[in-house]
Amino acid sequence: MKKITVLLICVIFMHIANAQWSNKWLSHTDHKHLLYTHGDVMVGSNSGGNLGMSFVFNSKYSVEIGYSASSNQVLPTFTEVLKSANKSETADIIASPDEMLENYHMMMGRHFNLNSKGTFRLVVQGGPGMSVVNTKSAVMKSTGYTIIPTVRTSDFSVMVNSKIEFPINKMIGLSAGPTLLMNHDRKYFSMGVGFIYGIISKIGRAHV
């Protein structure tokens, strides 16, 4: 939870810093390249947040670097506790793990305008990443919980994301869409809703 809070603080900080040079560039450049940050709230297999920065060449081809953090905690049900008590006073239940997932990624993609003004566009992207999973479990006895030490594992991952972006003006917009994160033994699916900030739209004319 602490890491997710830090992630949200970083999103706010990056957007504030981004405003300084974005205003200057927008006031002097009839640009065709886009550069912006984004922050998303993710809900699905795990729940958390996603932070990234995207550069879009010629308003079509994008490269994104980013970081996401999410968690999932499932405790034993009341029925499981009763079953354990009926079997034996010393019977153990291994609680579903409290899992913290962090992922560092780089994706390449394509932007497609869905209207002539460029205020409604589809982004399709994917690429490699590195996942770090911190898993903490608990053994439940009739006398209470015993926490098992946290297990930390790293693994190569692949992230695929598609989303709709809605530029409200040249600097601020909204986004929404699904994300699939895969490593060698797990898949995580989530839906995200967020905002984008920076140089997110061309000046004067739409792009295709």
Question: Residue 152: inside a domain, yes or no?
Answer: yes
pLDDT at 208 over 50: no
Contact 32, 57 (CB under 8 A): no
Burial 180-195 (b: 16+ CB within 10 A, else e): bbbbeeeebebebebb
Question: What mean pLDDT comes out for the span 186-201?
Answer: 91
pLDDT of residue 184: 84
Question: Residue 92: inside a domain, yes or no?
Answer: yes
Whole domain around residue 89: which residue ranges?
A: 2-199
Question: Residue 8: inside a domain, yes or no?
Answer: yes
Question: Residue 86: inside a domain, yes or no?
Answer: yes
pLDDT of residue 116: 81
Question: For residue 43, what pLDDT band results from cuts at 50, 70 and 90?
Answer: very high
Question: What mean pLDDT comes out for the span 173-183?
Answer: 94
The CATH number of the domain where 49 resides is what? 2.40.160.20
The pTM (predicted TM-score) of the whole model is 0.71
pLDDT of residue 10: 54
Query: Model confidence over 115-172: pLDDT tens digits?
Result: 887 789 999 999 999 999 888 776 666 666 666 767 788 999 999 999 999 999 888 9
How many C-alpha atoms does 70 have within 13 Å on its Cβ side? 24
Question: What mean pLDDT comes out for the span 91-118?
Answer: 81
pLDDT of residue 125: 97
How long a stretch of residues is the chain?
A: 208
pLDDT of residue 205: 42
pLDDT of residue 90: 46
Among 61, 56, 63, 59, CA closest to 205: 59
State both tokens at 161.
């994301």
pLDDT above 70 covers what percent of the chain?
Answer: 64
Q: How far apart are CA 142 and CA 82, in angstroms?
A: 9
Query: Model confidence over 6-35: pLDDT tens digits?
Result: 555 555 555 555 445 444 544 444 557 899
Question: Residue 150: inside a domain, yes or no?
Answer: yes
Question: Residue 204: inside a domain, yes or no?
Answer: no
Alpha helices in the chain (DSSP H): 2-28, 78-87
Question: Residue 13: inside a domain, yes or no?
Answer: yes
How many C-alpha atoms does 6 have within 13 Å on its Cβ side? 8
How many C-alpha atoms does 53 have within 13 Å on its Cβ side? 10
Total structural domains in the chain? 1
Question: Residue 31: inside a domain, yes or no?
Answer: yes
Contact 152, 132 (CB under 8 A): yes
